[in-house]
Structure formats: structure tokens, C-alpha cells
Amino acid sequence: MGDSQAGPRRLKSQERPHAPLPMTTIALRISADEAARVRQAMRPALVADNGPRFARVFYALLFDVAPHLRRDFPPDIVGLQQKLLLTLSVILRNLDDPAGLSAEVARLRAVHPKYETHTQLMQVFIRCFRKAYAIVVGAEFPAAEWAVLHRALLYLGLLVTAPDEPVLVG
């Protein structure tokens, strides 16, 4: 009886081929038209003084809903508010550009290395985002545009917190 009947031979660790690490791949397809409509819907929350107000309201809501998160942030969060607005502008600008969003995901992963996957936390973040918009603008986010932005924010949040190196494809 030869080796063929005995089954495959086990490779010693130094003989084993290096398999690629598993990757989180998410297909996020947002058309240029959808992206433009989301940008237009988001504009009232970000123009003039509304941008800083949006960020202040967002963090106030977040810390009210999830007070345990407050300890992870510095006492003065003005800088974080500015970063939130910059991140949001990059996301909005690249909604229909998977390469641009992938670059932002990589940047966010680099500055938030300790985050773990918490879908529930992402949902809290997204609910606070939507409520901050309603408070600042005085109206709900338009439903069709919200569906697109909600999907994008959830996917991006999952990619940022994925345990492996994520890939975003269009």
C-alpha cells in the first residue's frame, strides 16, 4: 500500500505554504446620482455654523445614549468634532468611489486600532448621527437618501472595525 491510500501527507510547519489572511470584502455600490442626492441632503447640516453644531449635538447624543464611551474621549472634544466633520466630508465626497472610501477606511483603522467589531455600537453611532441631523436641520433626513447613507455608514463602520484587513469593492 502506498501513500495514496494512506491519505495526504501532513506538511511540517516549515513546508506549509503561507495562506493569505482572510479578508473582509464588502461590496458597496452607490451610483453617482445617489451620492449626489446624499450630499445635497447632508448639506444643510454642514453649512456655515451648522457643521460645528452638528458635531456638538452628535457627541452630546452619543454620550447620553452610551455614557460608558465618554471615558474613551478627551475632556475637550473640539478637536474630535473637527475630525468628525473632516471624516464626514471625505466619506460624502467619496460615496461613489470605492478607492476613495478604502483609503479613508485605512486611515480610520490606523487611528482607531483598538476598536473591535461592535455592530450594536455602530447602530448607536448611526442613530445619533440621524438624530443630530434632525435637531440641527429641523427635519428628518430624506428617506431615500438616508437608506443610502445608512448603508454606507454601516458598511464603513464594519470595515473600520473588522478584525482583518478589509477590502471595499464597488
SS3 category, 155: helix
How confident is the model over 49-53, as a mean pLDDT? 94
How many CB atoms are located within 10 Å of the residue 10 CB?
8
Higher-confidence residue of 169 and 99: namely 99
> Residue 137 above 70 pLDDT?
yes
pLDDT in tens, 56-85: 999 999 999 999 888 888 889 999 899 999
What is the domain partition of the chain in residue ranges? 26-169
Q: Which of the listed CATH numbers 3.20.20.30, 1.10.3210.10, 1.10.490.10, 1.20.970.10 matches domain 26-169?
A: 1.10.490.10
Burial class (CB within 10 angstroms; exposed 0-12, middle 13-18, buried 19+) of 66: middle
> Residue 96 above 60 pLDDT?
yes
Report pLDDT for 109: 78
> Residue 14 above 70 pLDDT?
no
